[in-house]
Structure 1
Amino acid sequence: ELRILLDKQACHETLTRYCRALDWLDEEALKTVFTADADIDYGFFQGRGDAFIPVVMDIERSFLRRWHLTANAIIQVTSDTAEGESYGLAAAVAEREGRMVTDVFGGRYLDRFARRAGRWWITKRVYVLDWQRSFESDAAAEAMPGLVWSNGFSPTHALYRKL
């Protein structure tokens, strides 16, 4: 039973690496999430994991800031494979027609994991979008002095740490 708990935790960390890789625009970290031959279906993209990575990174680079979270993950481990479902929440800020706009997405990830060479990877993912909202960002929030905003986050940013 301890092995199952450790495997579930490793799958959770794979989900967390996905979010962090997108938030920091860390393409190398994203390559540790999906197998090259993973079966990926996001609706707008259907294909292999290695082809998905540059597509999703281009989308994320189009935003000034981005924030991803997975929660309520349930993972069932069977030996070296696992099935999982988790909820995803993502927010991104972009400038559109001179205005700051925030897009928020809520959905779920239906994942299959596999342990390969001692590490858990996503080998199949279907993303289901449950809802989406866009709204103009509050100008007062953009001007709060002293806060560190995540504009420009990347692996070369001074706050980035390789974890």
Structure 2
Amino acid sequence: MTDTGLDPRVQELLDREEIRALITAYCNAADRHDHAKMRTLYHEDAIDDHGAFFCGPAMEFIDKLPEIQAPMEILHHNVTTINLAIDGDYAEGEVYLLAMHRARTPDGPIDVLVGGRYFDKYERRNGAWKFLHRAIVTDWANVHAPSIIDRDHPFLAGSKFGQPGPGDPSYDFFRLLKRGD
């Protein structure tokens, strides 16, 4: 552990905030299909376990994301409860999430709302916290086939709609929350 000279309680607060920022950056990268950003969140030797989608080296998982995400019309990850334990340059987290997916299938679009948790191991290297191992656990899912999402409803007329990639309105709106970094 790097000795910062700070009160240990202050250092723990800083570490917690850096890890929370890592967790939320993951959600943004996943939802925008921003694979370059996703790559910066994991250590080179990290592991990712996304169940049936992929289990193995995180960089290989990120290489497969274009294929995995191809049918995803909407991805919307939301983290809620974040339980962290920190020991020097190593930390663990149990992160609750709600993840909405709208995916194309041969029978038409479906909606899948997943309630689950990430089991995370983090490590600080060269002053930066990154994922060392991330596993997803599904606690429940709500599936609608066909999809019940209606973005054409008159109530939404004139709304901006989020989408994967640089066509998302956030790319033009923000100056400080840069995309693809």
Per-residue Cα deviation, 1:75-119 (whole angstroms, up to 9, x for no partner): 111111101111121111123346432111111111110111221
- Determine the structure 1 residue equivalent to 2:148: 138
Q: Which residue of 2 aligns with 1:50?
A: 59
1:13 to 21, 35, 53: 21
**Bigger radius of gyration among the two:** 2
TM-score normalised by L of structure 2:
0.80
C-alpha contact 1:25 1:61 (8 A) present in aligned 2: no
Q: Give the structure 1 partner of residue 166 of structure 2.
A: 155
Q: Secondary structure at the match of 2:140?
A: strand
* TM-score normalised to structure 1 length: 0.88
Equivalents in 2 of 1:100, 1:62: separation in Å?
Answer: 9
Over aligned residue pairs, what C-alpha RMSD do you find? 1.9
Which secondary structure state, in structure 1, belongs to the residue aligned with residue 83 of structure 2? strand
| Letter of the structure 2 residue corresponding to residue 145 of structure 1 | A
Read off the aligned partner of 1:113 and give its amino acid letter: Y
5+ residue gaps, structure 2:
1-8
Relative distance call for 1:155 and 1:72 in structure 2 (3 A) is same
Secondary structure at the counterpart of residue 45 of structure 2: strand
Residue 40 of structure 2 aligns to a residue whose secondary structure is coil
Query: Partners in 2 of 1:156 and 1:116 — Cα distance?
Result: 34
The 2-side partners of 1:138 and 1:69 are apart by: 20
Separation in structure 1 between the aligned mates of residue 40 and residue 97 of structure 2, nearest angstrom: 19
The size of the alignment, in residue pairs, is 162
> Residues of 2 paired with 1:134 and 1:24: CA distance?
22
CA shift, 1:142, in A, is 3.3
- Residue 89 of structure 2 is aligned to residue 80 of structure 1: yes
Distance 1:150 1:29, change over 3 A: same
Structure 1's unaligned 5+ residue stretches are none
Q: Secondary structure at the match of 2:24?
A: helix
**Equivalent pairs: percent with the same residue?**
29
Contact 1:14 1:120 in 2 (8 A): yes
Structure number with the higher strand fraction is 1
